[in-house]
């Protein structure tokens, strides 16, 4: 009994420590997001509103990046939406923990809130555990902490970005692509995805001088053709397994806890 209690305590301490580290990293992403958005000329409520309502860092950066490059709002929404398609299989993977027990009303209430907390990080934390109670604790601790930190960090970044007069002199414009690169690198878990991503990036850069802003990034999706294989052997390249959390169904979700 006592031993059981001690291991629970230890693992909870580990959970809190790991969540704190992820929050610190994401807090810096949030500050950078808020600062970049207002330094690029967007009003303060754009990054702040997006962080509350969209709450998906990569797609927020993508949408704002397209708009700051002069792209249309439609292209911005499309880029952000494509990035977030991965939230659908994430939601399937953690459907058992996004609502808590209790009455019907409480179950629905928590399910609606829990859905908003589905992120790369909270799902990765939940999938570390098989025990339902542990999964639930990991998901909600990480999700709630991230939501809080993200929505404090972005307004702080807005303040910092508004205070800086000459953001180019501070190299602030380099932090945006650097953040995206740091987000993308851990997802390049197998050779084909790497080829698709590098090929797509090449297409996007090559088309930037000629296409309307926002479209080159969407054209990069043509790089996904690299994933196509005529006759699929089961797991031919054995990809992704070393750098991901295995879902019960057997495919890997990349863990971006180093972001």
State which of positions 194-223 bind other proteins (CB under 8 A): 196-198, 200-205, 208-210, 213, 216-217, 220-221, 223
Contact between 112 and other proteins (CB under 8 A)? yes
Instruction: Evaluate whether 93 touches 124 at the Cβ level (below 8 Å).
Output: no
- Give the total of residues touching other proteins (CB under 8 A): 107
Tokens of 186: 């851990």
Contact between 90 and other proteins (CB under 8 A)? yes
Q: Tokens 């609502």 appear where?
A: 99
Closest CB to other proteins among 6 and 191? Answer: 191
Contact between 81 and other proteins (CB under 8 A)? yes
Per CB under 8 A, the segment of 10-18, 134-142, 149-157, 250-258 that binds other proteins is 250-258
Give the nearest distance from C-beta 39 to other proteins in angstroms.
12
One residue of 73, 121, 137, 150 binding other proteins per CB under 8 A: 73
Contact between 175 and other proteins (CB under 8 A)? yes
Whole-number Å distance between alpha carbons of 77 and 71:
10
**Residue 111 CB partners (closer than 8 Å, separation 6+):** 98, 99
Instruction: Evaluate whether 247 touches 253 at the Cβ level (below 8 Å).
Output: yes
**Residue 16 CB partners (closer than 8 Å, separation 6+):** 141
Give the nearest distance from C-beta 10 to other proteins in angstroms.
24
| Site residues (CB under 8 A) for other proteins, limited to 37-56 | 42, 46, 49-50, 53-56
Instruction: Evaluate whether 80 touches 46 at the Cβ level (below 8 Å).
Output: no
One residue of 144, 152, 160, 180 binding other proteins per CB under 8 A: 180
Closest CB to other proteins among 9 and 112? Answer: 112
Strand 252-254 and strand 244-246: pairing?
antiparallel
Q: Tokens 């409520």 appear where?
A: 45
| Site residues (CB under 8 A) for other proteins, limited to 121-150 | none
How many angstroms from the chain centroid is the CA of residue 129?
A: 20
Contact between 156 and other proteins (CB under 8 A)? no
| Site residues (CB under 8 A) for other proteins, limited to 53-72 | 53-56, 58-59, 61-67, 69-70
Per CB under 8 A, the segment of 5-13, 124-132, 144-152, 165-173 that binds other proteins is 165-173
Q: 3-class SS at 156?
A: helix
Whole-number Å distance between alpha carbons of 76 and 213:
10
């Amino acid at each position: 009994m006592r031993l059981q209690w001690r291991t629970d305590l230890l693992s909870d301490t580990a959970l809190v420590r790991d969540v704190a580290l992820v929050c610190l990293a994401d807090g810096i992403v949030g500050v950078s997001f808020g600062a970049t958005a207002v330094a690029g000329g967007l009003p303060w409520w754009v990054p702040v509103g997006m962080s509350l309502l969209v709450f998906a860092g990569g797609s927020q950066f993508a949408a704002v990046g397209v708009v700051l490059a002069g792209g249309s709002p439609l292209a911005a929404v499309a880029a952000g939406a494509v990035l977030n398609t991965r939230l659908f299989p994430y939601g399937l993977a953690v459907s058992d923990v996004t609502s808590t027990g209790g009455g019907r009303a409480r179950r629905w209430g928590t399910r609606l809130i829990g859905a908003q907390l589905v992120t790369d990080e909270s799902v990765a934390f939940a999938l570390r555990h098989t025990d339902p109670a542990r999964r639930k604790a990991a998901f909600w601790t990480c999700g709630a902490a991230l939501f809080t930190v993200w929505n404090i960090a972005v307004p702080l970044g807005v303040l910092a970005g508004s205070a800086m007069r000459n953001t180019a002199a501070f190299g602030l414009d380099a932090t945006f692509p650097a953040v995206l690169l740091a987000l993308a690198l851990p997802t390049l878990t197998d050779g084909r995805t790497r080829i698709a991503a590098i090929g797509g990036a090449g297409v996007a850069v090559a088309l930037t001088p000629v296409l309307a802003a926002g479209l080159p990034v969407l054209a990069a999706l043509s790089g996904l053709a690299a994933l196509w294989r005529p006759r699929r052997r089961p797991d031919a390249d054995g990809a992704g397994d070393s750098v991901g959390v295995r879902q019960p169904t057997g495919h890997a979700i990349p863990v971006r806890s180093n972001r």
